[in-house]
């Protein structure tokens, strides 16, 4: 079998792994076959129908491990709005199109290719390397990441989880920065309207630094109005973002702010999802920076994303997570969950080179 990252990605893109699709099982079995070929031990866990996850492990000497995480399920799509077949793995002008090309099958392919290379080298790493590919990230991760965390031994003694959620190139004036997801916003649904307290951005950013979610780079970035090219809107650094929904308000809050500080009346809360602490993840940033610098003249920008991924389950369990899948500058990301999702060959090469460097540093040194 051709285990190169583009070949693996192509096979995965040809399978329909939207929520509830029976082909999710086929995709997970394909991963299992690749792992079997190079003698990596794995376990497929499937607590509910159509949501299998695979956990594989290369043992290390120390008993500790790093976890390479990604998800096989994808968002839905409306074929009539695409210019190419979303399940066709169409290659055009250096881009590979398909639902899941960015979210998150490329990361699945990179992790799988990397794991097979390490296994085939027969060198025992200092720390173990665990692969976790889940199948229900898009529907909350309860039966994938969270279940695997609570029900398999392989996620004990984890030094760091590397996952999706960052790696987007942005500009600050003319300097290039790469986002790293160090946290996600918590989500609280309350009855009625909500008027957030005014907290100055400067105060917020300092609290974010103290809590280990931001760096001085983030503070600096948040002081300047964004440029015209790729940027993060400054409202991403607001204490809360609110959405009105009939009788309710959904509050997306920065994870280091407590409800008391945000003046959220507990009696009005209908639903609350916490997104955890950083658990010291920021201490791994220099390793990521060194790997990135070998390939790009760019600095890391720690951020908290508005999204929502499997990462919060690890953070809530006290495990450090960084979201980082570095893309090339010309890779548009509007297709994530939208139409004509694609990844460029340059992105795939960059991600593979940088992530392989990071994994090799963390696991072997």
Cβ of residue 138: shortest distance to Zn ion, in angstroms?
Answer: 7
Query: With binding defined as CB under 5 A, does residue 264 bind Zn ion?
Result: no
Part in contact with Zn ion (CB under 5 A); list of ranges 60-68, 161-169, 194-202, 250-258: 161-169
Query: With binding defined as CB under 5 A, does residue 310 bind Zn ion?
Result: no
DSSP class of 141 = S
In the chain, what's the furthest Cα-to-Cα distance?
60
Cβ of residue 343: shortest distance to Zn ion, in angstroms?
Answer: 13
Pick from 50, 72, 87, 104 the residue near Zn ion by CB under 5 A. Answer: 104
Cβ of residue 31: shortest distance to Zn ion, in angstroms?
Answer: 17
CA-only gyration radius of the chain, Å: 20
Determine contact, residues 287/362, Cβ cutoff 8 Å.
yes
Nearer to Zn ion by Cβ, of 133 and 319: the residue is 133
Cβ of residue 191: shortest distance to Zn ion, in angstroms?
Answer: 30
Torsion of CA 76, 80, 86, 92, to 10 degrees: -150
Cβ of residue 108: shortest distance to Zn ion, in angstroms?
Answer: 10
Cβ within 8 Å of residue 256, ≥6 positions away: 183, 207, 208, 211, 213, 277
Query: With binding defined as CB under 5 A, does residue 136 bind Zn ion?
Result: no
Part in contact with Zn ion (CB under 5 A); list of ranges 40-48, 83-91, 163-171, 287-295: 163-171
Cβ within 8 Å of residue 360, ≥6 positions away: none
Cβ of residue 142: shortest distance to Zn ion, in angstroms?
Answer: 15
Part in contact with Zn ion (CB under 5 A); list of ranges 95-103, 105-113, 264-272, 326-334: 95-103
Binding positions for Zn ion, 60-79, rule CB under 5 A: none
Query: With binding defined as CB under 5 A, does residue 184 bind Zn ion?
Result: no
Part in contact with Zn ion (CB under 5 A); list of ranges 19-27, 104-112, 116-124, 290-298: 104-112
The rounded distance, in Å, linking the Cα atoms of 144 and 310 is 8
The rounded distance, in Å, linking the Cα atoms of 304 and 185 is 7
Query: With binding defined as CB under 5 A, does residue 145 bind Zn ion?
Result: no
Number of residues that bind Zn ion (CB under 5 A): 3
Query: With binding defined as CB under 5 A, does residue 28 bind Zn ion?
Result: no
Determine contact, residues 147/54, Cβ cutoff 8 Å.
no
Nearer to Zn ion by Cβ, of 133 and 204: the residue is 133
The rounded distance, in Å, linking the Cα atoms of 298 and 217 is 12
Q: Is 279 helix (H, G, I), strand (E, B) or coil?
A: coil
Distances from the Cα of 99 to the Cα of 112, 261, 274, 282, 336, angstroms: 19, 40, 29, 31, 8
Both tokens of 161, joined, read 């989880």
Pick from 103, 184, 340, 357 the residue near Zn ion by CB under 5 A. Answer: 103
Do β-strands 65-71 and 128-134 pair in parallel, antiparallel, or remain unpaired?
parallel
Cis peptide before 320 (omega within 30 of 0): no
Part in contact with Zn ion (CB under 5 A); list of ranges 4-12, 122-130, 156-164, 243-251: 156-164
Nearer to Zn ion by Cβ, of 103 and 340: the residue is 103
Nearer to Zn ion by Cβ, of 104 and 131: the residue is 104
How are strands ordered across the β-sheet holding 342-344?
91-92, 95-97, 342-344
Cβ within 8 Å of residue 125, ≥6 positions away: 58, 60, 61, 118, 363, 364
Cβ of residue 309: shortest distance to Zn ion, in angstroms?
Answer: 5
> Considering Cα of 101, then 183, then 327, then 236, what sign does the dihedral take?
positive
Cβ of residue 205: shortest distance to Zn ion, in angstroms?
Answer: 27
Nearer to Zn ion by Cβ, of 103 and 357: the residue is 103
Part in contact with Zn ion (CB under 5 A); list of ranges 98-106, 178-186, 230-238, 294-302: 98-106
Which residues would be at the binding site for Zn ion (CB under 5 A)?
103-104, 164
């Amino acid at each position: 079998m051709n285990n190169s990252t583009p070949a693996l990605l192509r096979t995965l893109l040809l399978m329909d792994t939207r929520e509830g699709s029976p082909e999710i099982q086929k995709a997970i079995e394909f991963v299992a076959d690749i792992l079997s070929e190079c003698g990596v031990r794995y376990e497929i866990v499937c607590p509910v129908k159509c949501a299998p996850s695979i956990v594989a492990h290369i043992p290390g000497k120390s008993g500790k491990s790093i976890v390479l995480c990604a998800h096989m399920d994808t968002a839905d799509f409306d074929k009539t709005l695409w210019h190419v077949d979303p399940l066709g793995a169409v290659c055009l002008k250096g881009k590979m199109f398909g639902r899941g090309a960015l979210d998150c099958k490329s990361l699945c392919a990179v992790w799988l290719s990397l794991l097979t290379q390490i296994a085939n080298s027969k060198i025992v790493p200092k720390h173990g390397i665990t692969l976790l590919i889940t199948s229900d990230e898009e529907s909350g991760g309860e039966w994938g990441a969270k279940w695997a965390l609570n029900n398999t031994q392989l996620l004990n003694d984890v030094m760091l989880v590397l996952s999706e959620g960052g790696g987007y190139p942005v500009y600050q004036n003319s300097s290039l920065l790469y986002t790293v997801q160090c946290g996600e916003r918590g989500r609280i649904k309350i009855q009625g309207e909500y008027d957030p307290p005014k907290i100055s951005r400067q105060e917020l950013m300092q609290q974010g630094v103290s809590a280990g979610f931001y760096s001085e780079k983030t503070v600096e970035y948040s002081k300047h109005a964004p440029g015209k090219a790729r940027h993060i809107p400054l409202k991403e650094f607001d204490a809360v973002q609110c959405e009105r929904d009939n009788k309710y308000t959904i509050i997306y809050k920065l994870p280091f702010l407590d409800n008391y500080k945000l003046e959220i009346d507990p009696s009005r809360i209908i639903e609350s999802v916490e997104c955890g602490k950083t658990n010291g993840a920021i201490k791994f940033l220099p390793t990521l920076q060194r790997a990135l610098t070998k390939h790009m003249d760019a600095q890391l920008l720690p951020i908290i994303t508005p999204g929502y991924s499997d990462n919060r389950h690890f953070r809530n369990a006290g495990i450090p997570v960084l979201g980082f899948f570095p893309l090339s500058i010309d890779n548009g990301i509007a297709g994530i969950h939208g139409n004509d999702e694609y990844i460029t060959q340059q992105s795939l090469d960059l991600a593979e080179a940088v992530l392989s460097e990071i994994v090799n540093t963390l696991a072997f040194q």
